[in-house]
Structure 1
Amino acid sequence: MSTTPTLNGQSIGQAHYATRALLERAVAPLGVNFGQVLALNVLAAGPVAPAQLVRRITSTLKVDEPAVYEVIASLTDADLAHLDEASLRLTDTGHATQARVADAVAGITARLYADIPTDEASIAARVLTLVTQRANAELAAIPA
């Protein structure tokens, strides 16, 4: 007997963690972790003030600021990013690594979403965006 899947935190989380595990395995040979991947992707668009990157990653991963500063330090230590007076930017090595990450993401995305009809994918994206907005609103309402 087959049951209809339920859209809830558990099913969303399982999809997230399975996809994240694929990504982490794909980027492990590059010597980067998930937090570094997120930072590399932000920096690929151009130089960013460290505080702006910290806000972006803390709001995405729901981690504290010291964890993001550790990511920044690890990127600079690995010569993937350079921190000057006002901004953090990718080095040539960082650009090359981020390009390889983007290729890995594109491959995973192509395999996982290949046969999902566009209209269904659009509906799922809208629903997940709404759930994320609602969860973020609730988080913002909780005193720190």
Structure 2
Amino acid sequence: MTTLNGRILGQAERATRAVLDRLLARSGTTFEQWVAVNLTAAGPLTRDELLAQMSAGLRTDPAGHVDAAFAAGLLTGDVALTDLGRSRYEEISAGINAITGQIYGDLSPEDLDTAGRVLLQVTARANAALAAA
């Protein structure tokens, strides 16, 4: 039996992130730019909302990364996807879908549901510990 711990979580995150980084590199998109594009594609945001969501997810000040996404022509001034941003979103999303199928495709839905619930609970507890500190 394998017991879930920080090392296992970290190894899984770093391995999947390396696969994502390889995909992103093909399009010249940084991880942080991808986060900005992905969040913007999900719905209209103000710059402040985008910064707040990125800060919460990345645990860092994202202002420079958002500026880089604007400079790369991925986002418009009113925080919407440009044509290039929409194209990049579709290209990277298709690549992620293919990778997801390779990595998760043969795992049972029950195992995926359990893992998802556990990881959400671990994340919530870690966030609570950060807030309490």
TM-score relative to the length of structure 1: 0.88
Other structure's SS at 1:110 match: helix
For residue 47 of structure 1, report the CA deviation from its aligned partner. 2.5
Q: Spell out structure 1 runs of 4+ moving beyond 3 A.
A: none
**Distance (whole Å) between structure 1 residues aligned to residue 6 and residue 59 of structure 2:** 16
Point out the structure with max Rg over C-alpha.
1
> Mind listing any 5+ residue stretches in structure 1 that lack a counterpart?
none
Matches within 5 A, 1:18-37: 18-37=15-34
Are 1:8 and 2:5 matched, yes or no? yes
Q: Give the alignment's Cα RMSD to 1 decimal.
A: 1.0
Task: Give the structure 2 partner of residue 90 of structure 1.
Answer: 81
Matches within 5 A, 1:24-103: 24-63=21-60, 65=61, 68-84=62-78, 88-103=79-94
**Distance (whole Å) between structure 2 residues aligned to residue 95 and residue 14 of structure 1:** 31
**Distance (whole Å) between structure 2 residues aligned to residue 98 and residue 79 of structure 1:** 13
Letter in 1 for 2:90: A
**Distance (whole Å) between structure 1 residues aligned to residue 75 and residue 87 of structure 2:** 11
Structure 1 residues 72-119: Cα deviation after superposition (integer angstroms, max 9, x where no partner): 1111111110113xxx11101000001111011101110000111100
Count of residue pairs brought into register by the alignment: 133
For residue 46 of structure 1, report the CA deviation from its aligned partner. 2.7
Task: Give the structure 2 partner of residue 17 of structure 1.
Answer: 14
Other structure's SS at 1:58 match: helix
Other structure's SS at 1:11 match: helix
Tell me, yes or no, if the aligned pair for 1:47 and 1:90 is still in contact at 8 Å.
Answer: no
Q: Which has the larger share of strand?
A: 1
> Mind listing any 5+ residue stretches in structure 2 that lack a counterpart?
none
Aligned-residue identity in percent: 37
**Matching residue within 111, 123, 127 for 1:132:** 123
Other structure's SS at 1:7 match: coil
**Distance (whole Å) between structure 2 residues aligned to residue 8 and residue 62 of structure 1:** 21
Letter in 1 for 2:88: T
Greater CA drift, 45-54 or 74-83: 45-54
